[in-house]
Every structure is written in structure tokens, then in C-alpha cells.
Amino acid sequence: MIKAVLLDLDDTLLGNPTETFIKAYLGLLSQSLGQSFPPEVMQGLMRATQAVAHKQDPLRTNEEAFYETIAPYLPTGREGFDVPVTEFYRAVFPGLRSHTTERPFVRGMVEWLIGEGYQVVVATNPFFPRVAIEQRLAWAGLPIDVIPFALVTTLENMHFCKPHPEYYEEILARIGVQSDEAIMIGDDWDNDITPAWRAGLNTFWAPTAGEPVTVPPVAPDGIGTLEDFARLIQNEGWLRSLTPRPLTPDQIAPRLTGNIAAILGAARDVPPHVWHMRPDPDEWSPVEVLYHLEESERLVQRARLETIAREANPFLADPNPPPGPATRTCPPNGWTVALAFAAERQITLDFLAALPAGAWDRPARHSIFGPTTLLEMANFTAQHDRLHLTQLCQTVGKCL
């Protein structure tokens, strides 16, 4: 059952021919920055944008990767760069609205989705800072302070970009749904449809021009205009008719990696004084939630997968219950625990990457789940991540 609807922004929610818009944007940005910086800064900006596009490191946000790359080109440091850039987005960027077209039916469609209980995500390629995305949403008739989106992906809050499937997995982990509970709608075959399909989402392709030509094996669940999509969901109950995509081995590594990014993203937002707080004496603190994830990855999750790969149809006993609240000593800063979890997860990913193709079907018998396979148990590891990511966010929320 679909629980989340991911919508692309440019040339989907907002009429915005990407090539024309980017050309105009870069021209105005270059002109603005040229008043304060030498030409090399614009060259550094382009290289930084490319670094963001190609990065596959879950430990750094896109913003961190951008500034690490552009830093050598900035004669006055980041602070000196941010001042004119902020002024550009305040005074100049709004002029680009003339290149875009509001689609009047879009707001009603989004409000209908939210009213029906769907989580709605603006899944726009996170090259731009939040201020630029908020303005384009306002141009689309979807002001961020009015429409309760579940998530808007930006340079600041994401670790991946399209067309990496990890981008979609990070979104799903952050909003707490599985890939077979989500659908992606967009105009771009390579950035929107193919990677979302490979991540296991349902898809609706809304190309803006020309005869749509699909590229097998990718097969969207629907093809048409965004107005067609709005009509299908509002008048024909189309979302309820979708068949979930099957679980495949190539979904696992992006899913486990995207989960790292989502967990680190949540950990970054925990105030230092909250790490050891408990909303209830019988509940874990935020640092204990992360400690459990690290310990489970090291002692349970990876060990279970190694057993299935090594033994013939092994019996998998349910692990002992984890330690209760305040029963173990945790570091004062939960960020170090989050990084330790990420390091353990990388060991698991390296192990899975070395498996022969046929290993994913190796059988096992679980004390609770019954007959299973290595593929199913690897996906269970990802589900375990998301269960405790939700717990982490809820615990922090109760403590604030």
C-alpha cells in the first residue's frame, strides 16, 4: 500500500525548462559573484557542484562536500563567500521566476494527497540550497510555510543526489516508509524514473516533450502528464491499485547505505544536552538507540548474514534481548557512536559486495520468520535500521 508520494519539482510541480533555467541562473550568479570575487571562484563553484553530483559518501552532507571542494578557490573563506551568495538569492534569484510557469492544478493535487494521509516529499535534485528551493516552491504555488511536506530535499539536508538510488533510499529512511510503500513522479527518465525504479519504488513518468520512449527493463507503472496523474489518483483510486515492486539483490547496498546517511542526518540534529536524556525511565536515550544499532550490526546483523552464506540452511535463533536503559556506559557524545555504526555497516557492505550472485538465494530457517533467504534477511537489516531511526527521532522529539 502506498504511503508516500515523491514529487520532482522542476518541470513536474513547476513548469521550468531545466536547460534554459540553469543557463540563466549561472549567468546571473556569475555576474553577481564577479562583483566580489575573481573568475576562479565561479570555476570552483562548478567543480564543487560536480563533486556533489558524483559523491557517494554517506558520511558527508552535500553541503559539506560543496564547501570542501570550493574552499581552495575562496580568497575570503566561507563567511566572505556566503554574504554575497545570500544577497544573490535575496535580490537577484527571484528574477528567474519569469522563466517558470505555475501549474494551477498542482496545489489542489498536493493538498488532496496530504488530506488523504499520504506523506508528500518534494524530491528535487539537491544541488540548490534550501532558500532557492523554497522560492521555486512558492513560484509553484506551494509555499513551504503553508504546505506540510514530509520532506523537501536540499543541499543542506541530503547526502546523495539523483540519479543515485541511495538518494531515494535516504528519503524513505527519513520519512519511515519502505520502498514498496512509495511512488516517485517526475519528468526525467534518467534522474527520476530509472533510479527510483531500481530502488524498488513504483513510478509515474510525466515527460514534458516528445513521444515517451521507455528503456527496458525499467517499466514505470504509469506514463502521462502530471494532470493525468492527478486525475488517476483523485478520480480513479489509482494509487490503491498498484502492485508492489519485488525485492531484488541490487536494492540492498543502496538501501543499507542510504540508511547510514539518514541516521547520521538525524544524529547531526541532536542537541548535545539531549544525548543522554530519557523521556521515560523505561526508554533508551538517543545515544543508547545508536549504541544498539552499532552493537546489533557488529554482533547480530552481519553475523547472521555470514552464517547464511557459510552454512547449509542454518537455523537462526532470535538474539537475546538488548540491554535495557541505563545498563551500559555510553560515550558522552552520540555522534561518535553514530560514526562507529557507520564503520560497522561499511564492513557489512564490503562483505555483501564480495558475495557471488547465487548467494542471495541461500536458504535459512529463522526462529520467528520461518523459512527465509539471505536476501530477505539483508533487507530485514535495513528494516531494523529504519525502526530504530524512527525511535531515535521520536525520542529526541520527546526530550525537546
Closest C-alpha to 235, from 104, 107, 108, 117 = 108
Coil, helix or strand at residue 373: strand
| Strand blocks (E) in the chain | 4-7, 14-15, 101-102, 119-122, 151-152, 182-186, 202-205, 222-223, 315-316, 363-366, 370-373
Burial group, residue 304, by CB count within 10 angstroms (0-12, 13-18, 19+): buried
Model pLDDT, residue 211: 72
**Packing angle between helix 252-268 and helix 374-399, nearest 10 degrees?**
10
Model pLDDT, residue 208: 87
Model pLDDT, residue 212: 80
Contacts 24+ apart (CB under 8 A), 334-339: 334/267, 334/270, 334/275, 334/286, 334/287, 334/290, 335/267, 335/268, 337/287, 337/290, 337/291, 337/294, 338/263, 338/264, 338/267, 338/290, 339/59, 339/264
For the chain, 400 residues long, give each residue's pLDDT as a single digit of tens. Answer: 999 999 999 999 999 998 899 999 999 999 999 998 999 999 999 999 999 999 999 999 999 999 999 999 999 899 999 999 999 999 999 999 999 999 999 999 999 999 999 999 999 999 999 999 999 999 999 999 999 999 999 999 999 999 999 999 999 999 999 999 999 999 999 999 999 999 999 999 999 877 788 899 999 999 999 999 999 999 999 999 999 999 999 999 999 999 999 999 999 999 999 999 999 999 999 999 999 999 999 999 999 999 999 999 999 998 889 999 999 888 889 999 999 999 999 999 999 999 998 999 999 999 999 999 999 999 999 999 999 999 999 999 999 9
Model pLDDT, residue 58: 97
Coil, helix or strand at residue 208: coil
pTM: 0.97
Distance from C-alpha of 106 to C-alpha of 309, rounded to nearest angstrom? 49
Distance from C-alpha of 329 to C-alpha of 323, rounded to nearest angstrom? 11
Model pLDDT, residue 159: 98
Distance from C-alpha of 5 to C-alpha of 308, rounded to nearest angstrom? 35
Those residues with Cβ within 8 angstroms of residue 336's Cβ, 6 or more apart along the chain or in another chain: none
Q: Residue 331 in contact with residue 337, Cβ under 8 Å?
A: yes
Parallel, antiparallel, or unpaired for β 182-186 and 4-7?
Answer: parallel
Distance from C-alpha of 293 to C-alpha of 5, rounded to nearest angstrom? 28
Cell numbers for 150, please give them.
Answer: 514530509
Model pLDDT, residue 209: 76
Distance from C-alpha of 90 to C-alpha of 350, rounded to nearest angstrom? 45
Cell numbers for 317, please give them.
Answer: 535463533
**Packing angle between helix 374-399 and helix 165-175, nearest 10 degrees?**
50
Model pLDDT, residue 142: 98
